[in-house]
Amino acid sequence: MPTKAHEKPTVESDELYKKGLALLESGALIQAGSLLRTVINTNPQNSSAHNALGKVLQKRDQLSSSTAAYCSAAVLSSQLNSTIIDLATSYERQKNYSQAQALYKKALQESIDKHKSLMGLARINAIKENWEDALKQMKEADSLLPNNASINYNMAIMHIQRGELLNAYRKLKKAHRLNDKNPQIIAQLALMKLKQGNIKDAKQDAKKCLALSPDNTIAQQIMKKLT
């Protein structure tokens, strides 16, 4: 009997954690955060719950809090895992590029999510205008996962930054074929079509984007310009 009484909170905590993950996947971020905090209060050593909470906070643009959650997950985890990528991404979004770069390099050395590590390093090199390294890393990521929407999207953004609009459009179209529900991809397609003078399709894409992500600023600006 004492053993069962001891196990009950763990079972309940596991169920709450699974519900929290499901809510995170569905975009119900406030509810997901609430459940995951309950899990952490019940079991502060649950590194997976800390990591999931970091994802929730990052999606809500609470970047310093997400970094703290990822750090907790990394400390509690018994081995290096994908948390290091999440932590690097959080630092990258806060423009702490030196810290992000160091973590991406560490992840790459340990062969943890190599394509994500390479994309992260490529983005940072692009920001620094180290184009040779950036393109090399992005192409290497593409060779690992040639049909990955995120890689094709990131390559498109890099081409845009370099003024290579034809290559950018080709990569955006491929990214959209691979994931036609990603609002960032659709917004960039809308923007490119607007620049090409294709007003009708640009407006249509902007509307699609806002239906998926009402807060997307690129789509909002396009609609404001066209109405």
Q: Is residue 88 within 8 Å of 107, Cβ to Cβ?
A: yes
Position 185 in a domain: yes
Domain identity same for 192 and 103: no
Position 59 in a domain: yes
Position 124 in a domain: no
How many folded domains does the chain comprise?
Answer: 2
- pLDDT at position 140 is 96
Residue 6 has pLDDT above 70, yes or no: no
% of the chain beyond a pLDDT of 90: 75
* Sign (positive or negative) of CA dihedral 192, 197, 203, 208: negative
Q: Of 171, 103, 101, 175, nearest to 133 (Cα)?
A: 101
3-state secondary structure of 194: helix
- What are the pLDDT digits (tens) for 147-187? 999 999 999 999 999 999 999 999 999 999 999 999 999 99
Residue 2 has pLDDT above 60, yes or no: no
Position 79 in a domain: no
**Helical packing angle, 83-93 and 63-76, nearest 10°:** 160
Position 143 in a domain: no
Q: Is residue 42 within 8 Å of 74, Cβ to Cβ?
A: no
Position 54 in a domain: yes
Position 165 in a domain: no
Q: Of 182, 212, 181, 209, nearest to 193 (Cα)?
A: 209
Q: Is residue 149 within 8 Å of 162, Cβ to Cβ?
A: no
Side-chain-facing half-sphere of 139: CA atoms under 13 Å: 7
What global pTM score does this model have? Answer: 0.74
Count each helix (H run) and each strand (E run) in the chain, helices first. 13, 0
Domain that holds residue 197: 180-227
Output the domain CATH number for residue 97. Answer: 1.25.40.10
Position 45 in a domain: yes
Residue 3 has pLDDT above 70, yes or no: no
Identify the residue whose tokens are 């090399």: 136
- What are the pLDDT digits (tens) for 73-114? 888 886 767 889 999 999 999 999 999 999 999 999 988 899
